[in-house]
Structures are given as C-alpha cells and as structure tokens.
C-alpha cells in the first residue's frame, strides 16, 4: 500500500555534517551554534533579539512570567494545550474566546468583548501558518494597554504586509519535527525589548546572566553568579547546529510548502463539500499545515478512509482545549460555537517540503473518491 505521512522533516546532509562537527568539537551544551542560530533568526524575523530555548512552551511560559502577568490573558480555545498550560503554570488566568471560521484564527471582535479590568494580555495563536489579524489586535491592545504574546509555533515565515509573525509582541516559535523548520525539539523567543531579553536569557539558564561559552575567556571562568531564581530551558549546541542549517534554506522550504498548498487548492477547489483556510489580502500563509473543512457528519468517515488508503491525515484540534477535562472550568468569555463547529469539521492533510507531486495527487484522488459516494 502507498504511504503518505502527515509530515516529514526536511533533513539533509548539511544538518548531518553540522551535528557531526559539533560532536567532534566537544562543545555539546549551549554554545557558539546557539549564537549563530539566534543571529540568523532575529535577522529573518526582523527583531533585535532572538533567544534559543528547549521548546516553544518554555518561551510562552517565560513571556508570561517575565512580563509579570498575573491577571487574565485572552487566548483562543482552538489551539494546542501548551498555550493554556504556559499561562496557567506561569501564574496567570486564561480566558478563552472564539475564532473566525474562515481563517481559523482568534476573532478580534471576541477579544474586545472579553476584556475586563482584570485583563492584562492577549496571547495570539497564529493557526497553521496564517498570522492572525494583527493590525486589529494591536489596535485593541493599545486601546486597553494590553501586552501581546504571539504563539507563533505554527507560523515561521507568515507575515502581513511584509511584517513577520513574531515581531509584533513577544514571539514564541517551535522547532518540533512537524514545523516549518526543525531542531527535533526546541524553541525560540523573539523581542525588541532589551530588558525583557536580558531577563529571559538569565531565566533560561538558572538565573545566571552569562553563559558557560561566554565565560570561557573571562579571567575567572568558573565564577557563576545567579541574579534571580531561574530554570534550565536551554537548547543544546547540537540542536542549534541543526537550526542554523535549517535557517539557511528556510525560504526554499517555505516555497515548497506554498507550492503544495496551491496544488491542493487547484485539485480540490471544485468539490463543494470542502472549504479551505482563507488567506486575506496582504497576508502570507506559511502553510505549516494544510487544513480543509468538511461536513462534521462525515468528517470522521473521511479521516478513516484517508488513513485506510495510507494517507496520514489527522485533526488539529479536536477536542478544543475548553472541552478537555483539566480546562473545563476555565472562563469562556464568549460563545465558542465556531470553535466547536470547526473542531468537528477540520482535517489536516499531509504537507512537507519533500512531498512529491505524485503524492499530492494521490491524496487529492483519495479525497475525491470519498466525496463521490459520501
């Protein structure tokens, strides 16, 4: 049987050689490749600071913690649980609001309806590679003096009018194998705030202001003084080396994803039973996922049919966070009817840079086969 996985990381000989070089160097902990990765990343996003860490979740957590947010944070329920976990574990209170059906992103109207005297921040989640409506969200944030955290785990390369996701507020990125670039596990935090960046760097490394690599040439390199209580959220030099090579080809990887998404749309757009994520004018979708909506009555049947034919289709996200046991008692500021309807109707089709035209065509044929008799 033909097999088309949901995703595959685009790892080549460059990454393998880079890892080998780091292993031979003996510097396997946080080191020079971290700095190189951060420099490439901040230049790409267009910010003053980029800080490597072990996950996007750590970046989200530290964003809330360092900005001393202890009140309410408005965020969508249509997201991975990491977004809510970071808010809760950092000591703040998430307030869930609804999304826009066409973009799958948080609704600015619902954000404003949810604001109370306890609201301190908005955690935007850019869904599947498409940035949320940041101009409208920034206007709301400025009006009510709210902080902005961007959960950009799925949106490396997404932009609006040339301004990239992760550069509006504090950006938090994931390098999980399904993402637009990968280090296996890993994350990055981006910001233009010098003070926040300095505090984040310290908190990532036990509250110590200087790294082991930076102290190597100091007069007393063994001196390690903590300026605050901290965590160990560092990314290793080995994984950072993979990130460096991934950043060197990020534009090529994104172009390939775009080509696959366009091929899907061209081949499936005549099917009245499905609809695609809408990319509004001025926005660039980085296509971390390619999702379709279909009648909820037959969604599970199509998913099983695809899987039965060897197509690694999946769902992101069902159930939404507010319907999962640990989060059921959290406040829902608005009706989440759109979130619930989308969660029951959505399917993620395979998409990855090395996906062949033949495999894209095969997935489309399987979808067409199902819709002919459904």
CA distance 312 to 309: 9
Query: Among this protein's residues, is 179 annotated catalytic?
Result: yes
CA distance 263 to 256: 11
Q: Please report, in angstroms and rounded to a whole number, the separation of the first and last CA atoms in the chain.
A: 23
CA distance 303 to 139: 39
Query: Length of the chain in residues, anyone?
Result: 374
Nearest to 181 by CA among 282, 313, 21, 56: 56
Q: Which long-range contacts (CB under 8 A, 24 or more apart) does 296-299 make?
A: 296/341, 296/344, 296/345, 298/374, 299/344, 299/345, 299/346, 299/347
CA distance 263 to 265: 5
* Residue in 33, 42, 164, 179 annotated catalytic: 179
Angle between helices 194-204 and 56-66 in degrees, nearest 10 = 120
Cα dihedral 158, 163, 168, 174 sign: positive
Burial degree of 25 (CB within 10 A; 0-12, 13-18, 19+) = middle
Active site residues: 179
């Amino acid at each position: 049987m033909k097999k088309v996985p949901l995703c595959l990381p685009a790892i080549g000989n460059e990454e393998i050689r880079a890892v080998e070089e780091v292993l031979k160097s003996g510097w396997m902990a946080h080191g020079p490749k971290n700095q190189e990765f951060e420099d490439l990343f901040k230049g790409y996003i267009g910010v003053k600071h980029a800080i490597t860490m072990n996950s996007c979740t750590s970046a989200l957590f530290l964003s809330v913690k360092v900005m001393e947010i202890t009140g309410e944070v408005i965020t969508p329920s249509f997201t991975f649980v990491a977004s809510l976990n970071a808010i809760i574990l950092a000591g703040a209170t998430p307030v869930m609001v609804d999304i826009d059906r066409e973009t799958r992103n948080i609704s600015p109207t619902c954000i404003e309806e949810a604001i109370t005297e306890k609201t301190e921040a908005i955690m935007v989640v850019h869904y599947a590679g498409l940035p949320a409506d940041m101009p409208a969200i920034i206007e709301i944030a400025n009006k009510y003096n709210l902080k902005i955290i961007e959960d950009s785990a799925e949106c490396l390369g997404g932009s609006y009018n040339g301004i990239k996701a992760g550069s509006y507020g504090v950006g938090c990125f994931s390098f999980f194998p399904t993402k637009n670039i990968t280090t296996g596990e890993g994350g990055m935090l981006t910001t233009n705030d010098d003070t926040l960046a300095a505090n984040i760097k310290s908190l990532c490394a036990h509250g110590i202001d200087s790294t082991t690599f930076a102290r190597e040439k100091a007069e007393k390199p063994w001196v390690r003084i903590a300026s605050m209580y901290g965590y160990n959220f560092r990314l290793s030099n080995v994984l950072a080396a993979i990130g460096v090579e991934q950043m060197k080809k990020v534009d090529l990887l994104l172009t390939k994803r775009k080509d696959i998404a366009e091929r899907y749309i061209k081949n499936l757009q005549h099917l009245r039973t499905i609809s695609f994520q809408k990319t509004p004018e001025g926005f660039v979708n980085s296509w971390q996922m390619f999702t379709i909506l279909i009648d909820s009555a037959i969604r599970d049947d199509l998913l099983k049919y695809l899987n039965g034919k060897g197509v690694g289709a999946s769902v992101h996200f069902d159930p939404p966070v507010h319907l999962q046991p640990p989060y059921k008692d959290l406040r829902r500021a608005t009706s989440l009817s759109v979130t619930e309807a989308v969660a029951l109707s959505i399917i993620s089709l395979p998409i990855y840079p090395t996906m062949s035209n033949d495999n894209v065509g095969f997935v489309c044929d399987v979808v067409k086969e199902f819709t002919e008799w459904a």
